[in-house]
Structures are given as C-alpha cells and as structure tokens.
Chains A and B, each alone.
Chain A
Amino acid sequence: AQSVSQHNHHVILSEAASLELGCNYSYGGTVNLFWYVQYPGQHLQLLLKYFSGDPLVKGIKGFEAEFIKSKFSFNLRKPSVQWSDTAEYFCAVTAPLYNTDKLIFGTGTRLQVFP
C-alpha cells in the first residue's frame, strides 16, 4: 500500500540543538514531497516542498529538507532549534503515477523544545 512513514513520533530537544526528522515514502517514480507544520492551536501550514531540481530545499524559519531518491527519503533538518519551533510536523506526498491528487500524510512528529 502507498504510505508515508515518520519514525520519530516524539522528539524533545533543548534550544540550539540540531534537528533531523525522518520521512520515508513507499512510492516509485515521480513524487512531490511536502513538510507541513502545525503550531499549537493553529492551521497546518507549509514549511517547504520539493517537486524537481535541487534535492536540497529550503523553507521558512530556517528549515531545510533533502530529497534522497535512492533512499526514498525526505528528511527535515534545522541546525539550531528555538522554543518557538515546538509544534507537530507532518511529511506528505503526492505521487502522480499512482493518483494525481491524493495527498498522503505521515503520522506526524511532535517536537518539544525546552529553553
């Protein structure tokens, strides 16, 4: 079955620590990849996206993600987290070869950053 896996369910960090959240998908062929963030009490919003080109994409608030096709991965990184990064992070995929518009999400990673 088509799926997106986020292996880190809950991550706890101190401010200034580096962050890497894993995301793996099970589709072959062309994929479009997204990271969304949900701050407490707020809408889901887009952090960054990859469609084609440079596999290292930069998003808002200092986040970046690297698409590694051979590993079916799209891990999210940030060199130095802040308390305000406390939120839930979701990886999502669309796979045109399977279904043009079906946007599939991972189970999410809850990040807590302590001062």
Chain B
Amino acid sequence: DGGITQSPKYLFRKEGQNVTLSCEQNLNHDAMYWYRQDPGQGLRLIYYSQIVNDFQKGDIAEGYSVSREKKESFPLTVTSAQKNPTAFYLCASTDNGRTNTEAFFGQGTRLTVV
C-alpha cells in the first residue's frame, strides 16, 4: 500500500541532544512537508521541499534542519537550539507539488524532551 511512514512513533530525548525524525513516502510525490502540532495551535509549518535537493523554511524553522537527498525521504532533525521541542510532528506529501491536490499525512512522531 502506498503511503507515508514516520518513525519512530514515540521518541524521548535528553535536553541538549539532537534527534532525527524519519519520514518516508512511496507515493512518488514531489513535495514533502514537516508540521508541528501543539494543542490549540493547529499545524504549523516547519520546512517544506518541492523537489529533491531543495527545501524552504516554513513559519517556525528555527532550531530545526532538514535534508532532501532522495525523493522518497525527508528527515527532520530537531537540534538542541530548539527551545521547546516537545510536540507532535507530522510529515506530509503532495503530488508533483501541484496546489490542487490533497496532502497525505503520516501517523506522526511524538517527541518528548526529558
């Protein structure tokens, strides 16, 4: 079945450590996105990529980094510079970067900093 796979589902990190969240899609979609979901704040865009080897900052990129070396993969690194990293992270993709198509989402990764 085609879809988006995020791993791990739950992640614990000590303060001061970087951690990388995985996002893989087999939908052959060009565009991929990372969102952060916090209660009462909806989904806020962290980074997005329209094509391999290219990505843009979203609204809350500070303290995060991404790479897009392969079409199917868009890992997100939460760095120690992110002041409040505990959150639910969602990865999404869309077909060919066209605006008039729906986004498909992964199941999310819940990151907790301890």
Which residues of A are interface residues toward B (Cβ below 8 A)? 6, 9, 32, 34, 36, 43-46, 49, 51, 90, 92, 94, 96, 100-108
The reply to whether A105 and B99 form a contact with Cβ atoms under 8 Å apart is no
Which residues of B are interface residues toward A (Cβ below 8 A)? 31, 33, 35, 40-45, 48, 50, 56, 58, 90, 92, 94, 97, 99-100, 102-103, 105-107
CB distance from B23 to the nearest CB of A (A): 13
Task: Give the interface centre of B43, B56, B92, B107 by most chain A CB atoms within 10 Å.
Answer: B43
Pair count A-B, CB < 8 A? 59
- A36–B103 Cα gap in the complex (Å)? 9
Closest Cβ neighbor of B30 among chain A residues: A101
Chain A residues with CB under 8 Å of B94's CB are 101, 103
The reply to whether B99 and A101 form a contact with Cβ atoms under 8 Å apart is yes
CB distance from B25 to the nearest CB of A (A): 13
Chain B residues with CB under 8 Å of A104's CB are 45
- A103–B98 Cα gap in the complex (Å)? 11
30 A-B pairs whose Cβ atoms sit less than 8 Å apart in the complex: A6-B42, A9-B40, A32-B99, A32-B100, A34-B102, A34-B103, A43-B106, A43-B107, A44-B90, A44-B103, A46-B103, A49-B102, A90-B42, A96-B99, A100-B97, A101-B48, A101-B50, A101-B99, A102-B45, A102-B56, A102-B58, A103-B33, A103-B45, A104-B45, A105-B35, A105-B43, A105-B45, A106-B42, A107-B40, A108-B40
